[in-house]
Structure 1
């Protein structure tokens, strides 16, 4: 018996603003929204189709962005890793910066193959090597 990763939850001050960033970064859409909670994820079909797909195998998880009163206090203990699929790592970093991300220092040495960034609310994430044709081939 196994479980599936179906949702990721991120506490934040402004769920709508953070949803805009992550939708643009990941190609997700807003699936449901209130003032205090926004769910984003890949476009999906009817609930019965989604349930059947989840039972068959892993799918990209949705992300819940929940308003909380306290601010971010320290480095994340869990973070997202993004892999560019149709551009170089440097071009993807530049695109994410235009969307509101910034470079982040979490103690990296500079020898890493990934780039540490932070979303508009300071949540760290990494941009890994590009998987684009010509950048990464098997």
Structure 2
């Protein structure tokens, strides 16, 4: 099959604010920047470059109203440290109905889009 995902599109009332957050959160580079459309890509030459889909932030007039139907799951090396860092960048903890027994934390970016910070992999689970 000759089909691949090029970008994950994220609607935003303020694409620049959302892109600023995700650029800092992921350490990605901005490859296109206009008021109504901003593209982030993995760092040039990184293992994700050309493999991971771009993030495309698109300006829309309406604010987010309900829980996302699609979201990002992020796998950190240290969940607590990464959550604290993301909160420092402007993320906030949210509830989408997850119970206390789950191993991930749900956060929202400055536009209210939910994403999960998973627990770190144990050493025996890491590829290498």
* Alignment deviations for residues 20-67 of structure 1 (CA, whole Å, 9 cap, x no partner): 10011111111101011000111337xxxxxxx85xxxx111100001
When normalised by structure 1's length, the TM-score is 0.82
When normalised by structure 2's length, the TM-score is 0.88
CA distance in 2, matches of 1:104, 1:12: 18
Partner residue, 2:99? 109
Q: CA RMSD in A?
A: 1.5
Q: Which structure would you say has the larger Rg?
A: 1
CA distance in 2, matches of 1:3, 1:44: 22
Q: Which runs of 5+ in 2 are unaligned?
A: none
CA distance in 1, matches of 2:25, 2:44: 18
Segments of 4+ in structure 1 off by > 4 A? none
SS in 2 for 1:40: strand
- 1:82, distance to aligned residue in structure 2 (A): 0.5
Q: Which runs of 5+ in 1 are unaligned?
A: 46-52
Aligned length: 121
SS in 1 for 2:123: coil
Partner residue, 2:123? 137
